[in-house]
Amino acid sequence: MHAGTVTELWRWPVKSMGGELLRATRMDGRGVGGDRTHAVEVEHKGAWQPLTAREAPRLLAWSAAYPFAQNAGLRPDDPPLATVTGPDGRAYGWGDPRLRRALEAELGKPVRLRRDTAGIQDLERSVLVTVDASLRALEGELGTAIDLRRFRPNVHLDLDAPPWEEEGWEGGTLRLTGGIVLRLLHPCERCAIPTRDPDTQEKWADLLRHLDAHHHRRFGINARVLQSGRVQTGERAEVVPRG
């Protein structure tokens, strides 16, 4: 068993946009309440599909939040519409038609806005967990500080575990003292999104090359909520291996 604390909590209301650093949040079978319940979609081969920062890095220059349901005040079964803020600081409600026009001007293509309270994650009903020891080890390997936001986690842990230990946790359990229990799934294989700076969108291709060469392109581990509840930063966390 490994034990430690929850040091950061994040939710990302709109796929591929900036998100919210939280003091507390609620989780249920969908994952973190309000996480990735909105997406910007584009038409591709006759079908509408979510647009991500892989295809449109400028999405990262936009951010989304729930200013009227902050932290654990958001109900996972009934999240409100997100508020989106553009690079110029102008804020839009998700239902505002000016938001779609502003995004089309920014991205140079027709888009539509989708909302689904069940979640629009790449891996449905999931939570992404990252571990501080692995982040610090990766910084040491690359010789530079790395912004955790590149990896878009939901839960960041400081544990008494060596770096990269999470790669062997598949099938184990993460227990939080507030009552939440998560089943640990498989390590997260990274796409190109972490190569983009969250603030400047500048590409750092060596990050993905390094992960590919030394860590099977993995960082963090996916999880699924078995027992719903509330979690806050500073809370104790325990990882119980499979079996």
pLDDT values of the chain reduced to their tens digit, one per residue, 243 residues: 999 999 999 999 999 999 999 999 999 999 999 999 999 999 988 899 999 999 999 999 999 999 999 999 999 999 999 999 999 999 999 999 999 999 999 999 999 999 999 999 999 999 999 999 999 999 999 999 999 999 999 999 999 999 999 999 999 999 999 999 999 999 999 999 999 999 999 999 999 999 999 999 999 999 999 999 999 999 999 999 886
Q: How far apart are the C-alpha atoms of 43 and 3, rounded to whole Å?
A: 46
Give the list of residues 6+ apart from residue 47 with CB closer than 8 angstroms, or none.
none
Query: Which pTM value belongs to this model?
Result: 0.96
Q: What is the DSSP letter of 203?
A: B
Domain ranges of the chain: 2-13+123-240, 37-115
The pLDDT score that the predictor gives to residue 44 is 86
Angle 216-220-223 (CA atoms, 0-180°, nearest 5)?
Answer: 120
Q: How far apart are the C-alpha atoms of 238 and 173, rounded to whole Å?
A: 8
Of the CATH numbers 2.30.30.90, 3.50.50.60, 3.40.50.720, 2.40.33.20, which one belongs to the domain with range 2-13+123-240?
Answer: 2.40.33.20
